[in-house]
């Protein structure tokens, strides 16, 4: 069951009705890629105009606000009713950045472990001779926003994320667990 959001009412999606499965998939891949490109250039321009510290702080605020919106929309559109880590894992599997980045998720005895082996954003910065940007706080607020919508008991623990030192083959790692 899809519930229309305030932005969806203004969308003109008739063209999608004429697309076959292959065209719809190509279009979805374009949208996902473009979503990441817009996010990247937004950050780059804020950094250029106001400095990296301001870009990082604004990024934190943006993701703290938009993540709960995404979570509510995904719960509704995909009828996710489970609470706890099961519901959160299901939501994360549908989350845009999981698809874009390729988050690796593993249910462990002590919670859900999310690992980011490759980060296109940080890798692009390195290719341009830039240092990694501090994304730990932004992701903490993003993940807390997502988790709180699924179940208020879910806690977020950053094991490491930039600016922390990290292994060559992993950019960040997060643990999600239920509070008592």
CATH 3.20.20.240 fits domain 8-178:
no
Span 74-101, pLDDT tens digits? 999 999 999 999 999 999 999 999 999 9
From the number of C-beta atoms within 10 Å of its C-beta (0-12, 13-18, 19+), residue 149 rates as: buried
Q: Annotate 40-74 with b (16+ C-beta within 10 A) or e (fewer).
A: eeebeebbeeeeeeebbbbbbebbbeebbebbebb
pLDDT at 7 (0 to 100): 54
How many CB atoms lie under 10 A from the CB of residue 134?
Answer: 17
Q: Is the pLDDT of residue 153 over 50?
A: yes
Q: Where are the domains of the chain?
A: 8-178
Q: Which own/partner pairs from 150-158 qualify as long-range (CB within 8 Å, at least 24 positions apart)?
A: 150/71, 150/75, 150/80, 150/83, 150/84, 150/87, 150/88, 150/91, 151/83, 151/84, 151/87, 151/88, 151/178, 153/83, 153/84, 153/178, 153/179, 154/84, 154/85, 154/88, 154/178, 154/179, 155/179, 157/111
Span 89-133, pLDDT tens digits? 999 999 999 999 999 999 999 999 999 999 998 998 899 898 899
**Reported confidence tier of residue 180, pLDDT bands at 50, 70, 90:** confident
Q: Strand 154-160 vs strand 104-108: parallel, antiparallel, or unpaired?
A: unpaired
Span 12-68, pLDDT tens digits? 889 999 999 999 999 999 999 999 999 999 999 999 999 999 999 999 999 999 999
pLDDT at 96 (0 to 100): 95
Q: pTM of whole model > 0.75?
A: yes
**Reported confidence tier of residue 1, pLDDT bands at 50, 70, 90:** very low
Q: Is the pLDDT of residue 9 over 80?
A: no
pLDDT at 8 (0 to 100): 56
């Amino acid at each position: 069951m899809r519930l229309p959001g305030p932005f969806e009412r203004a969308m003109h999606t008739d063209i999608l009705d004429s697309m076959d499965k292959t065209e719809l998939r190509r279009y979805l891949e374009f949208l996902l890629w473009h979503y990441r490109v817009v996010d990247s250039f937004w950050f780059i321009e804020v950094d250029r105009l106001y400095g990296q510290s301001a870009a990082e702080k604004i990024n934190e605020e943006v993701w703290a606000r938009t993540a709960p919106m995404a979570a509510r929309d995904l719960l509704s559109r995909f009828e996710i009713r489970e609470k706890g880590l099961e519901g959160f894992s299901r939501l994360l599997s549908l989350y845009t950045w999981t698809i874009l980045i390729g988050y690796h998720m593993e249910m462990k005895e002590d919670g859900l472990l999310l690992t980011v082996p490759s980060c296109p954003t940080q890798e692009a910065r390195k290719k341009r001779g830039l240092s990694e940007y501090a994304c730990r706080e932004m992701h903490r607020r993003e993940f807390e926003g997502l988790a709180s919508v699924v179940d208020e008991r879910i806690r977020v623990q950053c094991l490491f994320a930039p600016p922390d030192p990290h292994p060559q083959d992993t950019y960040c790692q997060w643990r999600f667990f239920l509070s008592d």
